[in-house]
Amino acid sequence: MYSYEYPRPALTVDVVIFSLRESRLQVLLVQRAEPPFAGMWALPGGFVNMDETLEEAALREMEEETGLKQAYLEQLYTYGEIGRDPRGRVVSVAYYALIPADARIRSEGGSDARQAGWFSAQALPALAFDHAEIIAYALRRLRYKLEYTAACFELLPDEFTLSQIQHTYEMILGEKLDKRNFRRRIQQAGIIEPTPHLRGGEGRPARLYRYRSDAVAEVKARRLFP
């Protein structure tokens, strides 16, 4: 049934790393030093080693670029079009990662001494390979995920204000939400709890909340048919 004599496609992982920075949803990209696509920006990624799982490979790539050893990580899709890499047959398993707004990230490029940078998900530079397609799909999945799970909290710091959550939603979904309705719903959902802390700044100080890790935060989808 299986044989080991066939030529094999090369197998890589690519990671779409999302974070909230400068009040925007941003994506981490690296600049390619060599052809093909030299000088263009691309997703962090690379070969899957023989002794690591796909997820381990994705985490390794993420750590090389950000210094972070863990984050919310989810497999996105596997890209296997014939001509997607001009150098040969390369199949790539794409992942996306969410990292908290306050995470301390190694600012300069990782081990490869490649240039790395954050870009607004709404305004990406020209991208190598099929990476524009991958990011577009990751963004769709993130929006979608946000609509029926509590994935949002993976992007927020440990403690946050209600307005911060709302802004996160507005940023990612790309629409304004009603403040009173939003607050009522999120409080009734029972997935956050108040902390004793307030956060000052301009205007009236705001209550800080935290995510309840015991929360069940899946919502039943509205069915097409009942």
Question: Which residues of this protein are in contact with DNA, per CB under 7 A?
Answer: 161-163, 178-181, 183-185, 200-207, 222, 226
Residue 146 CB coordination number (10 Å)? 16
At position 108, the amino acid (one-letter code) is E
Pick out residues in 7-66 that bind a second copy (CB under 8 A). Answer: 7-12, 32-34, 46-55
Query: Do residues 99 and 68 make contact, with C-beta atoms less than 8 angstroms apart?
Result: yes
The burial of 37, by beta-carbon neighbours within 10 Å (0-12 exposed, 13-18 middle, 19 or more buried), is given as middle
The residue type of 9 is: P
Determine contact, residues 152/167, Cβ cutoff 8 Å. no
Are the C-beta atoms of residues 190 and 212 closer than 8 Å to each other?
Answer: yes
145/50 Cα distance (integer angstroms):
31
**Of 4-12, 118-126, 131-139, 193-201, which segment contacts a second copy by CB under 8 A?**
4-12
Site pattern 122..161 for a second copy (x: CB under 8 A): ----------------------x-xxxxx-----------
Nearest-approach distance from CB 6 to DNA, in angstroms: 50
What's the rounded Cα separation, in Å, for the pair 93 and 168?
A: 27
If binding is defined by CB under 8 A, does position 167 make contact with a second copy?
Answer: no
Residue 162 site contact among DNA, a second copy, none (CB < 5 to 8 Å, cut-off depends on kind) = DNA
Regarding 113 and contact with a second copy (CB under 8 A), the answer is no
Residue 219 binding a second copy, by CB under 8 A: yes
123 binds, among a second copy, DNA, none (CB under 5 to 8 A by kind): none
Q: Which residue has the tokens 């990624």?
A: 45
| Rounded Cα gap, residues 18 and 183, in angstroms | 25
C-beta of residue 91 within 8 angstroms of C-beta of residue 46:
no
* 149: partner contacted, choices a second copy, DNA, none (Cβ within 5-8 A by kind): a second copy
Asked if 4 interacts with a second copy (CB under 8 A), we say yes
Residues that bind a second copy (CB under 8 A): 1-4, 6-12, 32-34, 46-55, 75, 77-78, 80-82, 85, 87-91, 93, 112, 114, 144, 146-150, 165, 169, 177-178, 181-182, 185-186, 189, 217, 219-226
